[in-house]
Chains A and B, each alone.
Chain A
Amino acid sequence: MVTDNKPSLVALNVDGVEYQVSAGANLVDALASIGKEVPHYCYHPKLTVAGNCRMCLVELGSPLRDRATNELVMENGKPKIGWQPKPAIACATNVSPGLHVRLDSPTVKACREGVTEMLLLNHPLDCPICDQAGECKLQEFSAEYGRGYSRYVDEKNAKPKHTKLGPRVTLDDERCILCSRCVRFCNEVAKDPVLGFVNRGSYNTLTCFPGRELTNNYSLNTVDICPVGALTSTDFRFKMRVWFLKQTSSICTESSTGVNTTVWSREGKIYRITPRRNDAVNDTWMSDSGREILREVDAAHRITAPQVRGAAADLESALTTAGEILRAGAVGVVGSGHQTIEEQRLLTHFTQATQAKAYVPARAGSADGLLISEDRTPNFRGALLAGLTNRAADRDLSVLKADIDAGRVRTLLVCREDVTTLGLDATTLAKVRMVYLGLHNDATAKAAEVVLPALSVFERSGHFVNCQFRVQSFVRAIPGPVGTLPDVAILARLLGSVTGQPAAFDADSLWKDLAAKQPALADLSPSKVPSDGVIVDGSAWANLSFPEGKLLKFAPATKA
């Protein structure tokens, strides 16, 4: 595996051409880094090497040395290469200095053709109904390295076509090529060994251990890493072909881990969410529960239109009414870790303009030590960087309740938080006039005088700062409900109605403002945030106690 410290480069000779690659790297990865593809099924960069698919067979060799003198043997003025008599698998080979590789020799081609033919012997070839079609390695490599027709005249094996391995995963045994990626994932990453192979020869079959099911919260990763269509997501099964789906880079909002994701949508409807590789955050994994977040887009209790005093209103009049309410003074602001750093910055300006006190409540949950952390908001660190708060998240809103009861807060702006679950009961809320910018028609929405529709993470763009203080960007995948505006636009309108001047809400000016006011974000702008995020200096808040414990790629700082 590639280590974090800068690896030294060594020469690798591929088909007679010299390249520089990282020393000790796996040969498949090393060749990929110089743009050479070695077809493979069982090898996965984040799992141990099994070497059972034999697809990555290549010819290896190294310069010969004279046994007596240890001098290089020369031939025609060049070092003579001693080629190994048999091909070897690239995935079980690490790069060593002077290694020579043949990728397109007749032997290698014959190997690939033979392996492909063997894998296709019992393959049902039901690509028309297979959900993997379009992203299937077997399909791609058969087209590229296969012979194009079958010489097999015997009957194909018939195996079970839909075995339920667990609540979310369905297995089609006929398509399985026994690469064992799913088995290794469950053993090594999910630490829930429930999968294994039974029987021998062509009856070799993937199955769950007797009495066990693939129920763990990472089971859908087996579907992602399955190189063929054997493991399928029960939810996505037969819903839509992948080639119709638009891929958008996004960030999982399940917790402060900030798992990188890809959102697959077509014509405004999200069909699935898969992990996006980020070796510093989530490798190539994500939780099953994080994939369920797409349900909130079409949830029955979603707020899709503004309301004023319980009646549907158009956005313009709702914003006007909200502005009137917020100009009354004695304002309290409830921000959220679900807001982007841009929204939090605008909210900070709002609190400064109204001399309001800001509260950012915590959303705590249990962690699993992998990709779900204790802080179940994706962007609490953003609230710190944006200046919305400078203390650890409030466990509940008892301070705000005291302020309301004492009459110090008579007007409330609540963003994306159901405050009724945080200690503000109906009698307390009855004492204030409330504007709610929210996603769901919850108890807070019922108590609010003006309800403004917020957009889900899939419907807006912005930046989140995860528990590592890593700024990561996400992009809008689908349009929001008709007649809605992005949260930044709504917050800018509310800020403008308080200050009397229109407020800018484009990403560039917000980031200029952030970079000027926040030393940790100096020199940063949206275009400078790479696809795998960028870590900013969070030492200013080192003395705050954050709830996160150890995760897959995160360890809490040890207090001095």
Chain B
Amino acid sequence: MAVKVLERRPLSFWERTYLPQVLGGLRVTWRNILRPSVTLQYPEQRPTIPKGYRGVPTLVRDPNGREKCVSCQLCEFICPPKAIRITPGEIPATAETAHVEKAPKEFEINMLRCIYCGLCQEVCPEEAIWLQNQYSMTGTTRAEMVNNKARLYELGGTLPDSHFKWDHKKAESERQAGGHH
């Protein structure tokens, strides 16, 4: 690649004294003093959370109260800092959602490791893990900073569902049961 040498303009006398520059700088900072402050008085004033904000990852239920996570462990796999730890489990055959077969026995997200990247939400095939508006996670021990399954559902709450895929599946299998011969 061709190298182009730019001649630097020689400094004038006043520029070399550095004084006009200093005075210009003082003028800039003085104008800043007169401007209003942008500080948010945090505990009393809360920031407005923009759409698509990536807060603390949480687990959500569908409007019927079914836990959406099926413990496929894709989030655990994609998680760059290895913050997620899932113990898979089987849904007992007597449960109402037995047709889903699989659910996490334990689901832990270590918020000391989490980097809020949102890859878990992006990879989730069941739309079960969401980074919502919660931005303040505090604790006085390391153990407190690990969100277990109960806490994750408490934080996540219920989100609207546009598919109800498992409910449709159950309805279909019940309709077809023994009916096709």
Contact = CB atoms under 8 A, between A and B. Distances in A.
A128 B77 contact: no
B180 A128 contact: no
A158 B169 CA distance: 8
| B contact residues, range | 20 to 34
Contacts of B90: 237-238
Interface string A65-99: 00000000000000000000000000000000000
Contacts of B126: 128
B172 A238 contact: no
Contact of A156 (B89, B172, B180): B172
Interface string B106-127: 0000000000000000000110
A241 B73 contact: yes
A238 B169 CA distance: 20
Contacts of A240: 73, 88
Given A238-B89, A241-B77, A158 B101 contact: no
Contacts of A156: 172
A158 B72 contact: no
A244 B101 contact: no
Given A129-B70, A129-B72, A162-B101, A157 B176 contact: yes
B125 A127 contact: yes
A243 B101 contact: no
B23 interface: no
A114 B86 CA distance: 38
A128 B99 CA distance: 14
Contacts of B181: 203
A241 B85 CA distance: 12
A266 to B, nearest CB: 11
**Most B Cβ at <10 Å: residue of A128, A155, A240, A244:** A128
A133 interface: yes
Interface in B68-95: 70-74, 76-77, 88-90
B145 interface: no
A128 to B, nearest CB: 4
Contacts of A161: 99, 101
Contacts of B88: 238-241
Interface string A133-172: 1000000000000000000000111100110000000000
B72 A128 contact: yes
Contact of A158 (B71, B102, B176): B176
A203 B178 CA distance: 11
A162 to B, nearest CB: 7
A128 B177 CA distance: 24
A124 B176 CA distance: 15
Interface string B51-78: 0000000000000000000111110110
Contact of A238 (B76, B102, B173, B177): B102
| A contact residues, range | 10 to 19
Contacts of A162: 101
Given A158-B176, A158-B177, A244 B73 contact: yes
A380 B36 CA distance: 87
A60 to B, nearest CB: 39
A168 to B, nearest CB: 16
A162 B180 CA distance: 19
Contacts of A238: 71, 88-90, 101-102
B100 interface: yes
A413 B73 CA distance: 48
Contacts of B74: 128
A28 B89 CA distance: 39
Contacts of B72: 127-129, 133, 241
Interface string A208-247: 0000000000000000000000000000011111011000
A311 to B, nearest CB: 34
Nearest to A157: B176
A241 B87 CA distance: 11
Contacts of A128: 70, 72, 74, 102, 125-126
Nearest to A239: B88
Contacts of B76: 244
Contacts of A127: 72, 125
A161 B176 CA distance: 13
A426 to B, nearest CB: 44
Contacts of B71: 129, 238
Contacts of A124: 169
Interface string B134-174: 00000000000000000000000000000000000100110
B77 to A, nearest CB: 6
B172 A155 contact: yes
Nearest to B179: A158
A129 B100 contact: yes
A242 B120 CA distance: 18
A203 B179 CA distance: 12
A158 to B, nearest CB: 4
A240 B73 CA distance: 8
Contacts of B100: 129
A203 B177 CA distance: 12
B173 to A, nearest CB: 4
A201 to B, nearest CB: 10
26 contacts: A129-B70, A129-B71, A129-B72, A129-B101, A133-B72, A155-B172, A155-B176, A156-B172, A157-B176, A158-B169, A158-B172, A158-B173, A158-B176, A161-B99, A161-B101, A162-B101, A203-B180, A238-B89, A238-B101, A238-B102, A240-B73, A240-B88, A241-B73, A241-B77, A243-B77, A244-B73
Interface of A: 124, 127-129, 133, 155-158, 161-162, 203, 237-241, 243-244
Given A156-B172, A241-B88, 4 more contacts: A127-B125, A128-B126, A157-B176, A240-B73
Interface of B: 70-74, 76-77, 88-90, 99-102, 125-126, 169, 172-173, 176-177, 180-181
The 9 closest A-B pairs by CB, nearest first: A158-B173, A128-B72, A129-B102, A158-B176, A241-B73, A128-B125, A129-B70, A238-B90, A128-B70
